[in-house]
Amino acid sequence: MTPLHGRWRRSSYSGDLGGNCVECAHLPSTIALRDSKHPDKGHFTFPSPEWTAFLAAIRHGQL
pTM score over 0.85: no
- Would residue 35 count as lying in a domain? yes
pLDDT top residue among 6 and 17:
17
- Would residue 7 count as lying in a domain? no
| pLDDT one-digit tens code per residue, 9-52 | 887 777 666 667 889 998 888 999 998 888 899 999 999 999 99
Sign of the Cα torsion 12, 10, 38, 35 reads: positive
CB atoms within 10 A of CB 23: 19
Q: What pLDDT shows up at residue 39?
A: 87
- Would residue 47 count as lying in a domain? yes
Domain holding 42, by residue range, is 21-59
Helix, strand, or coil here: 15? Answer: coil
Helix, strand, or coil here: 31? Answer: strand
In the chain, the number of structural domains is 1
Rounded Cα–Cα distance for residues 28 and 48 (Å): 9
